[in-house]
């Protein structure tokens, strides 16, 4: 579903991604870990073209994306992204937030979008909040709206960048549960998170990034229990 080949990314002279090769198969959940500054967010942003790569290629659903010629808004609609900070539209209701992109970007018909949006809100457990404004929601509810908003574009894959890092501890579980449900339904996902329990339970693979290089790409059991990589072990000691 997503394939990165020899991806390099520079910010000025700083090389942040140093030749990333990775593949995410349909229905797979890949958890991406690494210390702060290792390039996790940059990699996600490259995978949905919020950042352009300096070298290498990215293939989405079998189609190699041409950064210069292709309609990147369209590619972005195929690979949704959920951020640490939810950025909901404050002057729109929950339902309107979820309906916005399909209406504006996909130009879908309003009644169809509304039916779909209500379905999705039910899925993330927020049917009763459809007509509420974001400032009346908890952080966990806001993040579930953000996930609903991404789902409304009917993406082929979803990228999550530390979706629970800004939440109070008691609100983390409800967001992880929604993500787990999505994983069980077969959504293709790449998740940057420090929630190692989630990684152990949900991930098909764990990828460890260090200074812009993938130093480990393994199934959770191997990663958590049998890694021979010194950096991985240091990382695990730090987060556990
Ligand atoms: P992570 O998400 O793993 O913490 P990032 O991808 O955010 O790491 O950052 C990787 C490196 O790239 C860091 O050194 C960071 O300072 C740098 N960086 C990220 N975004 C930018 C930017 N827009 N301009 C310049 N440097 C950046
Ligand atoms: Mg980051």
Per-residue pLDDT of 196-218, as tens digits, reads 999 999 999 999 999 999 999 99
ipTM comes to 0.98
Q: Please state the rounded mean pLDDT for residues 62-90.
A: 93
CA 12 to chain CA mean position, Å: 26
CA-to-CA distance for 19 and 4, rounded, in angstroms? 9
56 backbone dihedrals φ, ψ, rounded to 5°:
95, 175
| pTM, entire model | 0.96
Q: Please state the rounded mean pLDDT for residues 186-192.
A: 98
Ligand nearest to the CA of 36: 1
Q: Are 187 and 139 in contact (CB under 8 A)?
A: no
Residue 82 Cα to ligand 2 midpoint, Å, equals 12
pLDDT at 79 over 80: yes
pLDDT at 9 over 80: yes
- The torsion angle over the Cα atoms of residues 229, 233, 239 and 240, rounded to 10 degrees, is 140
Edge-to-edge strand list for the sheet holding 205-210: 79-82, 157-161, 188-192, 29-33, 205-210, 213-218
Q: Which atom of ligand 1 is nearest to the CA of 12?
A: 25
The pLDDT assigned to 240 comes to 73
Percent of the chain with pLDDT over 70: 100
Residue 43 Cα to ligand 2 midpoint, Å, equals 9
Ligand nearest to the CA of 162: 2
Q: Whose CA is nearest to atom 21 of ligand 1?
A: 11
Going by C-beta distance under 8 Å and a sequence separation of 6 or more, which residues neighbour residue 36? none
What residues flank ligand 1, with Cβ below 6 Å? 11, 16, 34, 36-42
Q: Please state the rounded mean pLDDT for residues 153-166.
A: 97
Q: Please state the rounded mean pLDDT for residues 19-31.
A: 98
**Quick one: angle between helices 94-104 and 110-123, nearest 10?**
130
**Quick one: angle between helices 139-151 and 110-123, nearest 10?**
130
Residue 86: which pLDDT band, with cuts at 50, 70 and 90?
confident
Ligand nearest to the CA of 33: 1
Q: Which atom of ligand 1 is nearest to the CA of 39?
A: 6
The pLDDT assigned to 84 comes to 93
Q: Which of 13-17, 84-88, 163-167, 184-188 has the lowest mean pLDDT?
A: 84-88
């Amino acid at each position: 579903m997503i394939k990165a080949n020899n991806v390099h990314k520079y910010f000025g002279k700083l090389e942040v991604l140093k030749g990333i090769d990775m593949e995410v198969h349909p229905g797979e959940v890949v958890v991406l870990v690494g210390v702060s500054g290792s390039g996790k967010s940059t990699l996600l942003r490259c995978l949905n073209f919020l950042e352009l790569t300096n070298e290498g290629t990215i293939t989405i659903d079998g189609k190699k994306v041409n950064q210069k010629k292709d309609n990147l808004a369209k590619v972005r609609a195929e690979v949704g992204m959920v951020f640490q900070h939810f950025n909901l539209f404050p002057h729109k209701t929950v339902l309107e937030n979820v309906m916005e992109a399909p209406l504006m970007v996909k130009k879908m018909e309003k009644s169809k979008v509304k039916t779909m949006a209500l379905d999705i809100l039910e899925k993330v457990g927020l049917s009763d909040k459809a007509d509420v404004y974001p400032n009346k929601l908890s952080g966990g509810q806001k993040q579930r709206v953000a996930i609903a908003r991404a789902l409304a574009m009917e993406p082929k894959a979803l990228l999550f960048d530390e979706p629970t890092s800004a939440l109070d501890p008691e609100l983390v579980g409800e967001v992880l549960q929604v993500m787990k449900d999505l994983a069980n339904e077969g959504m293709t996902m790449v998740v940057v998170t420090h929630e190692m329990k989630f990684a152990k339970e949900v991930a098909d693979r764990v990828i460890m990034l260090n200074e812009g290089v993938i130093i480990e790409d393994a199934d959770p059991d191997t990663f958590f229990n049998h890694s021979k990589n010194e950096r991985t072990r240091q990382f695990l000691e730090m987060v556990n």
